[in-house]
Amino acid sequence: MLLSSHIFLAKLKVKQFKKFKNVLQKILSVLRAFLKKDR
């Protein structure tokens, strides 16, 4: 029981991390485009 909940939490963290990484990449690409436009 405890182990399965632990695994579930780990999977949840991985999901959240992937989502966070995607958002971060989008922000970075927008910033790069903005910097290129500025130049």
In this prediction, residue 3 carries a pLDDT of: 84
Rounded Cα gap, residues 13 and 4, in angstroms: 14
- DSSP letter at 1 equals -
In this prediction, residue 1 carries a pLDDT of: 60
Return per-residue pLDDT of the chain as tens, 39 residues.
Answer: 678 999 999 999 999 999 999 999 999 999 999 999 877
Tokens matching residue 35: 């910097």
In this prediction, residue 29 carries a pLDDT of: 97
In this prediction, residue 37 carries a pLDDT of: 86
Q: How many residues does the chain have?
A: 39
Tokens matching residue 10: 């780990």
Tokens matching residue 6: 């632990």
pTM: 0.62
